[in-house]
Amino acid sequence: MAPGNAPFSQAEYARRIAKTRAAMQQAGIELLFVTDPSNQAWLTGYDGWSFYVHQGVLLGLEGDPIWWGRYMDSIGAGRTCWMGADQIHGYGDHYVQSTTCHPMQDLATHIRALGFEAGRIGVEMENYYYSAKAHAVLAQELPQAQLMDATALVNWQRLVKSQDEIGFIRKAARISEKVMATAIDRAAPGVRKNDLVADIFHAGITGVDDIWGDYPAIVPLTPSGLDATAAHLTWDGTPMREGEATFFELSGCYRRYHAPLCRTVYLGTPPPEVLAAEEAQLEGIEAGLEAARAGNRTCDIANAFIGVLQKHGIHREGRCGYPIGLSYPPDWGERSASIRSEDQTVLEPGMVFHFMPALWMDTWGLETTETILITDSGAAETLCNVERKLFVKA
């Protein structure tokens, strides 16, 4: 079983599968059906823009995983997965967006052939890629099976990164530095936002030296002025204006691994309240990084940051970050732990987070964030090397 075109060694995939199987046994799952494309890639290496149709990975407690999907995409699975052709199954195009049949009917035939027609089968119920109709058809086709909620079971196994994965994230961070430098350099009054975003995309895809750029799981978020009071707006064709702050939430991507980074540019002279918020935010970030140590908890990071803001009279609620790594649209987060006051996840060396202590105020927004690595000892390491400040272009 050679890894072929898969990005990691066979030993790395064996490690991941062993971790997943241990979690399956603990949950009482005999067969796992994984639809999240990030989890599919993590287990098998599959990499293709085909997650708009039904596809997934079947993993039992023994043997190699099986990639299952549309026949035309099974060719891509053969090019990117580490398994052999016998472990790749494609269904006919007559199932695609049909009103008379459903791909889950084909999947059920494979599950029956594997002997799990009455088994305990885990499915990712809270997932972008597993529809209510898919679940209903699968349950109808396998009436004797027990379909169990295995949402985020694989995601939690991904939380501590291997050294190979950290190496990929470090490469993504080099691209993140380039795209952020491009955004800051190009930002100026009169520059159309879509033209600036085009330059950001070009910088990200060309990459750095021999580190080629992949497409990020989230498009550039680049709102200005009042738009920057909202967290997730993209761009339009209007020109940038003096007297406005624009935050850039961007990420380089290398072989599906991300290193998100945010910085804010103010065109003109920032008002005193923006500068005061910047001072509080930067102090809070330093406190959060100091708390981001192995043995502490994710809530300790959030509480350290929020505590500083409270001292400065700034109210902040909600998440302050999430784990990142390998991901596909629509999100570069891993959807497991959260950096927030109620999350008790214990930090371990090898965890990587987007520490996202952004501020969205009544008339402006200020985003300054870091991709951080939990180390064996000491405070977290920031993986991107971009000066941490409000960039003022008068």
Q: What is the mean pLDDT of residues 257-274?
A: 98
Tell me the pLDDT tens digit for each residue of 334-361: 999 999 999 999 999 999 999 999 999 9
For residue 3, name the pLDDT band (cuts at 50, 70, 90). low
The domains located in the chain, with CATH, are: 10-157 (3.40.350.10), 163-393 (3.90.230.10)
**pLDDT for res 1:** 44
Per cent of the chain over pLDDT 90 is: 98
Q: What is the mean pLDDT of residues 314-326?
A: 95
What count of other Cβ atoms lies within 10 Å of the Cβ of residue 136?
Answer: 12
Per cent of the chain over pLDDT 70 is: 99
Spatial separation of the C-alpha atoms in residues 336 and 312, rounded to whole Å: 31
Tell me the pLDDT tens digit for each residue of 108-124: 999 999 999 999 999 99
Dihedral pair phi/psi, residue 12, rounded to 5°: -65, -40
Alpha helices in the chain (DSSP H): 10-27, 37-44, 71-80, 103-113, 132-141, 153-157, 163-186, 193-206, 272-291, 298-311
Residue 50 has pLDDT above 80, yes or no: yes
Q: Give the contacts of 41 (CB within 8 A, at least 6 positions apart).
A: 47, 256, 326, 328
Indicate the residue type of 109. Answer: T
Tell me the pLDDT tens digit for each residue of 125-168: 999 999 999 999 999 999 999 999 999 999 999 999 999 999 99
